[in-house]
Chain A
Amino acid sequence: MAETIKQQNEVPFLLRPCVYLGDQVLYILSDLGWMGFFFFSSFAGMFRHPFRFREFVKQLRFIGAGSIAVIFFTALSSGMVLGLQGYYSLHKFGAEGMLGSAVSLTLIMELGPVLTALMVTGRAGSAMCAEIGIMRISEQIDALECMAVDPFRYLISPKLLAALISVPLLTAFFDVVGIFGGYLAGVQLMGVNSGSFFSGMQQSVTNHDIRLGVIKSFAFALLLVWICTGRGYFVQQIRGAGFGAESVSKVTTQAVVLSSISVLIFDYLLTAVLL
Chain B
Amino acid sequence: MPASSSAPDVAIEFDQVFKSFGERSRKHLVLNNISFTIPRGLTTVIAGGSGQGKSVTLKLILGLLYPDSGQVLVDGVNVPSLNKRDLRRLRTRFGVLFQGSALFDSLTVFENVALPLRERTKMSEDEIYRKVLATLDQLELIGHEEKFPAQLSGGMKKRVGLARALQLEPEIILFDEPTTGLDPVMTREIYQLFDSMQKRLGYTAVIVSHDIPGVFDLADQIILLNKGEVDIFNDVNEIVHSEKPYIREFAEMTMGDLFTHPEKENCHS
List the interface of chain A (C-beta within 8 A of B). 1-2, 5, 8-9, 11, 19, 23, 50, 135, 138-140, 142-143, 145-150, 154
Contacts and interface: CB of A to CB of B under 8 A. Distances in A.
A9 B22 CA distance: 12
B92 interface: yes
B98 A145 contact: no
B92 A8 contact: no
B32 A139 contact: no
Contacts, number: 65
A5 B98 contact: no
Most buried by B among A11, A19, A23, A147: A147
Nearest to A16: B25
Contacts of A138: 100, 102, 105
A8 B102 contact: no
B29 A147 contact: no
Instruction: Say whether chain B's binding surface is mostly helix, strand, loop, or mixed.
Output: mixed
B24 A147 contact: no
Contact of A8 (B18, B24, B29): B24
Given A147-B91, A149-B115, A142 B20 contact: no
Contact of A149 (B24, B68, B94, B119): B119
A145 B174 CA distance: 14
A137 to B, nearest CB: 10
Nearest to A146: B96
A142 B96 CA distance: 10
Contacts of B92: 147-148
Contact of A1 (B29, B88, B115): B29
25 contacts: A5-B20, A8-B24, A8-B25, A9-B25, A11-B25, A19-B24, A138-B102, A139-B98, A139-B99, A139-B100, A140-B102, A140-B103, A140-B105, A142-B64, A142-B98, A143-B104, A145-B64, A146-B62, A146-B64, A146-B91, A147-B120, A148-B88, A149-B120, A150-B88, A154-B119
Nearest to A131: B106
B64 A147 contact: no
A5 B115 contact: no
B260 to A, nearest CB: 35
Given A143-B96, A148-B88, A2 B29 contact: yes
B234 to A, nearest CB: 29
Contacts of A148: 88-89, 91-92, 120
B261 interface: no
Given A5-B27, A19-B24, 6 more contacts: A139-B102, A145-B64, A146-B64, A146-B96, A147-B116, A148-B91
A23 B119 contact: no
Contacts of B24: 8-9, 19, 23
A143 B178 CA distance: 14
